[in-house]
Amino acid sequence: MGLISTADGSGGCHGVPMPYTDLIGNHHTMTDIQNILAVYFQATPVDIQEGTVWYNNAHQICVGLCQKYNLPLSTVVGVVSALSPNNKWDRNIIDAEQLIKAYCLEFDYPKVCTFTGNKDKAVTILECEISSSDNICAILKGNKTIAFFRGIFTNGECNEITVDGHAFNIWRGQYTSLHEVPAISNKLYATVSDAYRAAAEAIYDLTGDSYSAAQIQAITWVTWRRMHGVG
């Protein structure tokens, strides 16, 4: 029987060997999920905690902004998500609040640390007073940005996967800089997302630990960044 373990054979913080077999459903091969499982089982208790609550924390930040500026939660999450590409999370939140504040107080919109097209999407969500999740997703368009929106809006209780460069590298088992990550086609995005969903099911079957697929993505994302010293 194959085993997944850390380099020292300890099995990460879970402390047990991880058998591959019988974990995979009929529609998935071991190759689909083995790299995700290998990272998950190297997670420390801190990684597990941070990843489990990542979307919850993001959700609560957005709740705070929607209450502060009297806007629908979906609108605030839409703005945050629109401004997320190529933007660090801490800066993402600063940019979102500054844009929201400018809209509410009728100031000139400030510069933001993302692409102009993404800023335009955020402004459209605000100025058109869009609160429908479906309509917001139609404006966001991109697979990753839509998944990010749904992950935050649902408090992490969803099976939508935010496949950024780190999540993609986890899936393929190869560390590279984000600039070296190839463009991810719709078909490949679906394949990677399915693998994270299958990994969540496998982890439950093996350990009894129940996480949404979005939480597994976040846990492995936190673990991967720690493993490779990514700030």
Helix extents (H) in the chain: 30-40, 45-52, 54-69, 73-82, 89-105, 116-127, 133-140, 143-153, 165-172, 186-207, 213-227
Give the span between the Cα atoms of 33 and 155, in whole angstroms.
24
End-to-end CA separation in angstroms for the chain: 37
Higher pLDDT, 8 or 115: 115
Mean per-residue pLDDT for 14-33? 50
pLDDT tens digits along 32-71: 799 999 999 999 999 999 999 999 999 999 999 999 999 9
Provide CB contacts within 8 A for 205, sequence distance 6+: 22, 23
Please give the Cα distance from 56 to 10 (Å, whole number): 30
DSSP state of 108: P
Rounded to an integer, the average pLDDT of 153-176 is 95
For residues 202 and 33, is the Cβ–Cβ distance under 8 A? yes
DSSP 189-228: HHHHHHHHHHHHHHHHHHH-----HHHHHHHHHHHHHHHT
Residue range 67-126, pLDDT digits in tens? 999 999 999 999 999 999 999 999 999 999 999 999 999 999 999 999 999 999 999 999
CA distance 129 to 211: 34
Please tell me the predicted confidence (pLDDT) of residue 141: 94
Q: 88 is written with which tokens?
A: 């660090």
* Conformation bin of residue 156: beta by default, left when phi > 0, alpha when psi is -120 to 50: left
